[in-house]
Amino acid sequence: MTDAPVLAVRGLSTQFRIGGAWRAATRNIAFDLYENQTIALVGESGCGKSITCQTILGLLPAAVARTEGSIVYQGRELVGLSDAEMETVRGKEIAMIFQEPMTALNPVMTVGEQIAEAIRVHRRCTKAEAKAEAIAFMDRVRIPAAAQRYNDYPHQFSGGMRQRIVIAMAMACKPKVLLADEPTTALDVTIQAQILAELRDLCANFNMSMVFITHSLGVVAAIADRVAVMYAGEIVELASVEELFAAPQHPYTRALFQAIPRVDETAENLQAIPGQVPPITAFPEGCRFAPRCPMRMEKCAGRPPRLAAADPASPHAVACFLHHDLALEEAAE
């Protein structure tokens, strides 16, 4: 692992134009991603995980979305690049595995052609070379009889096999950063474990870093090095996997752990989180989790807490007044 991060995100905010006004879907997102490292973005639906990755890759249309902050990839600022400039990054340097493989794949093109097309666009090789490389990647993600199945269409594959094809497409240009948007959703646990193992192997073989989006803390434990817990468009806790699982600090993170079903406890002990994630048109002014938090205080409604480490020597950061008070925050300004 090098000293400089492959991807450095600072103060990233994504806003959408809704009803004539700009509304922030994400606010002040910040994290570093190093070589051969996987960081997981975890949280409920609507917390801004997918929006964060789409913003990094420049996929949001400028007509309805705008971005503030900084995204630095290997020393190059991505915020503000034109579409043509982003095309030199998207797919080749930073690739994405989308959540639903059936909608990510073109139903009227063979899977092999779709992988080969990505290779030809970014690597300027012949059709024969692209086909050979595509078959090699299909084989690498364990598609049986890859050469024969090159000419098959997406509907001829199972869900797990389609997910492998999407991974092969993303990996075809050997990117340095992979953004994986819930790549194991809707797969049974056996196939899920296989996909996770293959992603770990691919990252190791290609010295690749990964941002992995998931709802499941079990998946986080299986694949991630660091975890960013997101709620209502903000990172509320950032720590290594070991630190987070040993001592979750934010009330939302603790609630997520308490909501995990356990085989050694009865269903009556399952603790659901009351309420739901607010829409972006109704985000609270202060701590966005405060309306659902059993430990909320009066000052939680006044202003949002900073994401900071309770111990300056620790990289375990949390955005909660329970762990760093308002006076310390004001002194840091």
Assigned token pair, 31: 């994290």
Which domains, and CATH codes, for the chain?
7-93+175-332 (3.40.50.300), 102-174 (no CATH)
Per-residue pLDDT of 36-48, as tens digits, reads: 999 999 999 999 9
256: buried, middle or exposed (CB in 10 Å: 19+, 13-18, 0-12)?
A: buried
Model pLDDT for residues 85-104, shown as the tens digit of each residue: 998 899 899 999 987 777 88
User: Residue 135 in 3-state DSSP?
Assistant: helix
Residue length of the chain: 333
Contact 171, 122 (CB under 8 A): no
Dihedral sign for Cα atoms in the order 22, 27, 33, 39: negative
Quick one: three-class SS letters along 66-94? EEEEEEEECCEECCCCCHHHHHCCECCCE
Place of tokens 């930073």: 94
Task: Provide the 10 A C-beta neighbour count for residue 19.
Answer: 6
Residue that the structure tokens 């690498």 belong to: 140
User: Are the beta carbons of 234 and 28 closer than 8 angstroms?
Assistant: yes
In whole angstroms, how large is the CA radius of gyration of the chain? 21
In sequence order, which residues have a C-beta less than 8 Å from that of residue 279 and are 6 or more positions away? 46
The amino acid sitting at 6 is V
Per-residue pLDDT of the chain (333 residues; tens, 9 = 90+): 557 899 999 999 999 999 889 999 999 999 999 999 999 999 999 999 999 999 999 999 988 899 999 999 999 999 999 989 998 899 899 999 987 777 889 999 999 999 999 899 888 789 999 999 999 999 988 899 999 999 999 999 998 899 899 999 998 888 999 999 998 876 788 888 888 888 899 899 889 999 999 988 988 999 999 999 999 999 999 999 999 999 999 999 999 998 887 666 666 667 888 899 999 999 998 999 999 999 999 989 888 999 988 676 678 999 999 886 544 454 444
